[in-house]
Structure 1
Amino acid sequence: MQKGSVDVHCHFFNGAFAFDELLEIGWRLLHDHYPYKQDEQLRLKALNIIPPELEKLINYVASLFAAIIRSPEENYNYEQHCYTASLWKPSRPLITAPLMMDIFFMFDNGTSCKQKSKLLKLPAEKKRAAFSPSLITEQEQYSFDAFAEEMKQKVLRACAERVSRNERGIDLAAESTAPVTAELDRVIREFKSGTGEEPNTRGLTARSDVQMTRGYRKHLKTLMDLKKKSPETVFPFLAVDPRRIGIEQLVKEQVIDGKFQGVKLYCPLGYLPSHPDLYPVYKLCIEHDIPITCHTSPGGFQSKCGTISTLSRKRDGTVVKVLFDETTVKRVHEGDTAQSLFFARPQNWVEVLENSEFSKLRINFAHFGGSDHIKACAASRGSSSPDNWTAEIIRLMERFEHVYADIAYCPDVSLQEIEAIIKQHPIVEERLMFGTDFVMIIMTNERLEEYFNHYTGINSRLAGDNAAAFLRI
């Protein structure tokens, strides 16, 4: 494997993936069978009762389209171009670890916990029907067309508003929404056609007990294809959510078999790292030396539920219920989200890592706690508040030999601040890694080339050597 710089935290997905999941989630909500089918009788609600929570997902879809409409492969090529054109003046291509995103359960308030055990006891055919992508029957064509058109128009309106407010929109001209319209129409056509899957995405798994929504399956297949085309520079991570039925099997098929390099967890979408259904995945990670990247910043994308009932496995093996209520979570900084503050805190991993069976999990605490926490930690010269997430991660690094972190989406953290932290905590120089968080960084009005330029002069350990050790490449 060639040595060089590594972006250990990036994304190549686009708006089409998010719109696919918007249609899947919305159509299921209208039928009262989200996240899983509740019974054999579909109960279509009145079309004017579009769940209001979908507006938040619509805005997310629009933000993707307003910032970028390239395909995932084009996004990969664009990042390579920005890296080559940057002040880093590289002689070799950038090695990337694109992370899948699984947003399907973002509206689940705990319903899945009650349904999942019942579904797993069903015969194979009924089980498949309960969580397979929704079929659009002949009788439902008119209703679906009206629903899909409403979703499309909402995305177009939100997209146009974002572009008009953002003069740095890259691919979408404010005077024309034609490229976005064409892409939305394409997704709708595929959704209606058969199971809504592209023919070459079928057969990824023949198991009836593996849940594969359209957007998830297509995103997975896209990264598989990208890995085949660029095997020396693309090392994707599989999105794992404990509420997705069959996720352990997917890890066996996709990660252990070598198509994917590691596992991605995004806890702010409504679960803790100590969720009992993640432990079989952790066991596989220990047995097969699989790295894990988890979101560890008080900001970012999060569940759209104000209250969430979930599960946690304690150190003694007992499983307890945990209730999240966003009204009881105190936001400290602008941009903090209650869901991230509750579910993404590094300290949540102590429950897992203090179990001797899992103490050697190789984990990347993405974002190193977030820019505000990094800057506060640097300024305090090691005497930061016990609530400082960067300090929490450093303590985990000092206790556990395979704990890493990355500086993805930290455009206002200086190299001097990172060096100040390293001076106080030398372990950080051995465990901290470079990451961009592309395409997310473009969605928030940052230039990718400028992000590389901001970190010009970063030492070789942070630029790539630590990530090569984390990825085992």
Structure 2
Amino acid sequence: MICMKEPEILTIDAHCHLFNHEVLSWRLLADFILSRIRRRGMQARLETAGGIGELKRIIRFFRTGLMDTEDIYGKLLAEGACNTVVPLMFDLDYCMKGAGYSNGFRRRKACKKNIKRAARKEWAALRKELDELAAHAGRGERRELGEMKQALRRLSGKTERLSLGKRDAFRMQEKALLKLAAAHPGRVLPFYAVDPRRPGNCMHGPDGTIDISPLTDRLLPRLGGKGGFYGFKLYCPNGYSPTDPVLMALYEYCERHGVPLTAHCSGGGFASFSPSIMVHGHVYRNGEVVPHDGVLEFRHYRLTDKLRVKEKAELLNHPRLWKKVMEAFPRLRLNLAHFGCRDEGMEWTELIYGMMEQFPGLHTDLSCITEAPRLREMREYFLKAPEQVRRKFLFGSDFYLNLLFLDGMKVYMENFRNTFTEQERHELMTANPSEFLGLP
């Protein structure tokens, strides 16, 4: 008698990232790392358990990002609870567009040199401060601090060797994900990042028509394309409106063909460094969604300006802007990621929840919610939701960006398992994302 092995049940991480060293460039070093280190005096922070913990997280983040894509994927599988992942691309080049980092090779080279000099100084200062702490620590603590110092020395050397690379590393990111998806069919389901400003994403006809076939051709054949992508990723704080005409044309196609999209929608994350951007569509200003077609000026755009992300999130990514999109395309299969979480309160979360009740296609995910109390608050929305809304909540990790906020992916999964029951996890990790992705 032949025993048939039961097929493995898919468990899906619907929001993760597998950025390698080609994405973790000197520009990301400038934005996400140095700004965190400089936020307040490092010596004072290292003298507390929280300061040591944050330094460990930065080390862990860099170690992961300097790995190859295949190894990063393996790390996620080993530490996460899912056997299937949805890696989302990110257009870092256009996040930096207009900020002085990409306006000519000489300027980029000088900027890179300055950033590397600053990074070298920060790494050296951290090692010195670890030595000072070790001088007054016990044997076990000295050993731990010594290991951290050696890790910093190795990371300093590796980040020093990060190449300037080509003007646009975006295509290398695309190739790496497609290669990984081909090596792991049905287990790696990549989403292509769309920025309407990027040349080659569309073609404008003389009669005002917009040809988005360069984008849709990247999709799987079952979605009308010729490529290997399962959907699209949007990140509007990088410098464009959700109602940009190129995107509106894309939404029409995606609604008609059942193509899923994931859009960043929280108060944190990345944002453009540019002091001004040409924006087409709508913006959210003074409590209203208003048309805008021209240059949009920003008050906050410098690296260390704490309001830079908040300002661009409000202007370019407010949930009411997405409501405008959903009113035009109510069955668009759109995931507003992070459930609108912000430090300023629950307004965005409430708006997204109400829109999920109103629009059949709208989803959300619970990615990068790293604090257990906040995750329990999100569960309350999940539990009170009527069945048709409950089916639109998705599990996501935001790996490996979430490593900056907690002590490893295993901690993230432990929080999730301690918050949701086994049946609830099945809904969030299997049934709901399978429907969102259109999987059989």
Q: Same fold (TM over 0.5)?
A: yes
Q: Which residue of 1 aligns with 2:80?
A: 83
CA shift in 2, pair 1:159/1:2, >3 Å: farther
Query: SS where residue 16 of structure 1 aligns?
Result: coil
CA deviations on 1:204-244 (whole Å, 9 max, x unpaired) are: xxxxxxxxx53101111110111011112110111111110
Q: How big is the shift at 1:182?
A: 4.3
CA shift in 2, pair 1:82/1:58, >3 Å: closer
2:76 partner amino acid: E
Q: How big is the shift at 1:313?
A: 6.1
Of 169, 177, 180, 2:153 maps to 177
Q: Which residue of 2 aligns with 1:5?
A: 11
1:55-454 equivalences under 5 Å are 55-56=30-31, 59=34, 65=62, 68-83=65-80, 94-108=83-97, 150-158=114-122, 173-175=148-150, 176-178=152-154, 181-182=157-158, 184-185=160-161, 187-188=163-164, 191=165, 196=166, 213-247=167-201, 248-255=212-219, 256-312=225-281, 320-321=293-294, 323-326=296-299, 337-355=310-328, 358-370=329-341, 372=343, 388-414=347-373, 416-426=376-386, 427-454=388-415
Report the identity percentage.
Answer: 26
Q: Does 1:465 align with 2:431?
A: yes
Q: How big is the shift at 1:409?
A: 0.6
In the alignment, structure 1 segments of 5+ residues that lack a partner are 23-53, 85-92, 112-130, 197-212, 328-332, 378-387
1:422 partner amino acid: F
CA deviations on 1:290-331 (whole Å, 9 max, x unpaired) are: 1110000011111113443411069xxx8734735346xxxx
CA distance in 2, matches of 1:347, 1:437: 24
Q: How big is the shift at 1:275?
A: 1.0
Query: SS where residue 254 of structure 2 aligns?
Result: helix
C-alpha RMSD of the superposition: 3.8
CA distance in 2, matches of 1:258, 1:401: 28
Contact conserved, 1:18 with 1:61, CA < 8 A, in 2? no
1:362 partner amino acid: R
Contact conserved, 1:67 with 1:443, CA < 8 A, in 2? no
Give the TM-score taking structure 1 as reference length.
0.66
Q: Which residue of 2 aligns with 1:30?
A: none
Contact conserved, 2:17 with 2:399, CA < 8 A, in 1? yes
CA distance in 1, matches of 2:127, 2:394: 33
CA shift in 2, pair 1:72/1:160, >3 Å: farther
CA distance in 1, matches of 2:11, 2:371: 21
In the alignment, structure 2 segments of 5+ residues that lack a partner are 1-6, 38-57, 131-140, 202-211, 220-224, 284-290, 301-305
Q: How big is the shift at 1:161?
A: 5.8
CA shift in 2, pair 1:365/1:82, >3 Å: same
Q: Which residue of 2 aligns with 1:14?
A: 20
